[in-house]
Structure 1
Amino acid sequence: MSADWPLGVARHLLDSVDSTNAHAARLARGLSGPAWIVAAEQTAGKGRRGRDWRSPRGNFYGTYVMRPTERAEVVALRSFAAALALREACVALTGLPGAFALKWPNDVLVNGGKLAGILLESAGQGGGVSHLAIGIGVNLIGAPEPDAVEPGALRPVSLLAETGKRIEPSVFLDTLAPAYARWEAVFTTQGFAPLRAEWLAHAARLGEPITARSGSHTREGMFETVDAQGALVLMTAAGRVAIPAAEVFF
């Protein structure tokens, strides 16, 4: 374990699991504090909208699980903390700050291709959240074939192929966990504003035309910003619109 490992955060290392988010849900009630759950292999990993997530050994599959105290809509903003920590870890391990960008709502890109994704899952009642699982998958050494993703989606890429850097999952965890702890501390003490500003500083296609799809509804417009609630703001032909949830296509 790294000397920089965040104080009070547990660490669960598994060889194989159905998914780290599912395991986090099983462990959540008995946890005394936040924890990282990392597996060498997932047998039933999931991406956004329940899509299968290919999980070969050598890539990074991890979940940060915690018991938040904020309202559900505030808890969800931690996806930005996770994205910032992911980018910070990638830069630290490769020394290539210009290669990495952030794609709304929760992807990390390298050289324009999709390197990593984030999946938030939670449980609770009313406006409260009993636990939050932040699932993170990073293509360290391998990526899905282009025909495995939907038409128009960004090409999947690996860190190894794009940068020539072979990073072990354990090394990636030792860099990611302290980075996330720093952004978690900023979020809990200063709120979303500093995360929003830093995220926008590294946003892919900011000021450019993009497409946002939510169900059967498609909107096209100029990517203006992310608002104080984390929503995507587009300037469309019909005017400015804030989109709280969608998939973005370039």
Structure 2
Amino acid sequence: MSTDPATVGAGSAWPDGYDRVLLEETDSTMAEARRRAPDLAGPAWILARHQTAGHGRRGRAWQHPPGNFAATLVLPHAGDPAQAALRSFTTALALHDAFVARCGTRGQFALKWPNDVLLNGGKVAGILLESLPGGALSIGIGVNLSQAPTAELVEPGATPPVCLAQECDTLVPPQAFLGTLAPAFARWEDQFTTYGFGPIRTAWLQRAARMGETVTARLPNTELTGRFLGIDDAGHMILQTSAGPRDIAAADVFF
């Protein structure tokens, strides 16, 4: 029987089988992951104190002020594309646990489909998945630990950014945050590989933002507005629109 992993404490030990690479500076941890992936025998975290060319979804620039968190986890064997895509949910759950462990308050945090973590309604973290040759997957994670991005980099109507230091009055160094996040991810990954997506889906829905509320999903050629009903077994958003329920595989969501 599966269980919901307990919140990982700030002092949890580094997980067995996971390597880590600590860099002072790189262009982006995602690019570093692409370069290093062919030589990795197992999963590895890559953390950079500074990125010169960080990016988010659809190539959007990702600011990296001093003290913020920028890391990529490389999973050499992530399964088929559908399985690999579900890692956005295990990663979001791990981030949620790490934030709670560091801030001590669960109610402040929520998970926004498909790949953001919210703190007091603002975006504190984002997740970016990228398939690599040979079935590997890179999971890029950006967290506003010390500073939030400036307003000009935020798309109109998007969730405003916030930072952990201001909202929680807690300043966590990036390497210390990785020390909390990595064991949290390892626990959720173990849940996923052992029991499948079912327990992950249940846990994610328990932490989901705006369940049952009206949201807008922006697709490449259209926008759909409706009531957010949850996610299905493939991780797709279920949106109740005026024309009936819609299954949405990928979109930008606006509240």
In structure 2, what residue type is equivalent to 1:180? F
SS in 1 for 2:152: helix
Contact 2:92 2:115 in 1 (8 A): yes
- The correspondence for 2:111, drawn from 92, 102, 125, is 102
Q: Which residue of 2 aligns with 1:223?
A: 228
Q: How far did 1:189 drift?
A: 0.6
Q: 1:3 to 1:207 in 2, by over 3 A?
A: closer
Q: Given the two structures, how large is their TM-score scaled by the length of structure 1? A: 0.96
> Are 1:194 and 2:203 an aligned pair?
no
| Residue of 6, 13, 16 corresponding to 1:4 | 13
Contact between 2:226 and 2:240, CA under 8 Å: does it hold in 1?
yes
The one of 114, 130, 142 aligned to 1:121: 130
Structure 2 CA distance for aligned equivalents of residues 206 and 188 of structure 1:
27
Instruction: Give a deviation string over 1:174-220, Cα, whole Å, max 9, x none.
Output: 00000000000000010011110000001000000000001121000
Distance 2:143 2:98 in 1: 11
Which amino acid letter does the alignment assign opposite residue 99 of structure 2?
A: C
Q: What SS class does the counterpart of residue 42 from structure 2 fall into?
A: coil
Secondary structure at the counterpart of residue 187 of structure 1: helix
Taking the aligned partners of 2:108 and 2:65, their CA distance within structure 1 comes to 24
What aligned pairs does 1:135-146 form with structure 2 within 5 A after superposition? 135-146=140-151
User: Counterpart in 2 of 1:160?
Assistant: 165
Output the CA distance in 2 between the equivalents of 1:138 and 1:98. Answer: 18
Matches within 5 A, 1:174-189: 174-189=179-194
Deviation at residue 3 of structure 1 after TM alignment: 6.0
Cα deviation, 1:131-190, whole Å, max 9, x if unaligned, reads: 100000000000112232111001111001111111111110000000000000000010
Superposed displacement of residue 67, structure 1: 1.3
Runs of 4+ in 1 over 2 A off after TM superposition: none
- For 1:220 and 1:228, how far apart are their aligned partners in 2? 22
1:85 paired with 2:94, answer yes
1:120 and 1:69, CA in 2 relative to 1: closer, same or farther beyond 3 A? Answer: closer
Alignment of 1:32-111 (within 5 A): 32-111=41-120
Number of the residue aligned with 1:133: 138
Structure 2: segments with no counterpart, 5+ residues? 1-10
Instruction: Give the counterpart of 1:239 among 237, 244, 247.
Output: 244
The residue type paired with residue 139 of structure 1 is N
| Distance of 1:178 and 1:157 partners within structure 2 | 25
Report what 2:31 is aligned to.
22
Q: Which residue identity does 2:28 align to in structure 1?
A: S
Q: Runs of 5+ in structure 1 lacking a partner?
A: none
Segment drifting more, 143-152 vs 203-212: 143-152
Instruction: State how far apart, in whole Å, the 2-side matches of 1:107 and 1:216 are.
Output: 22
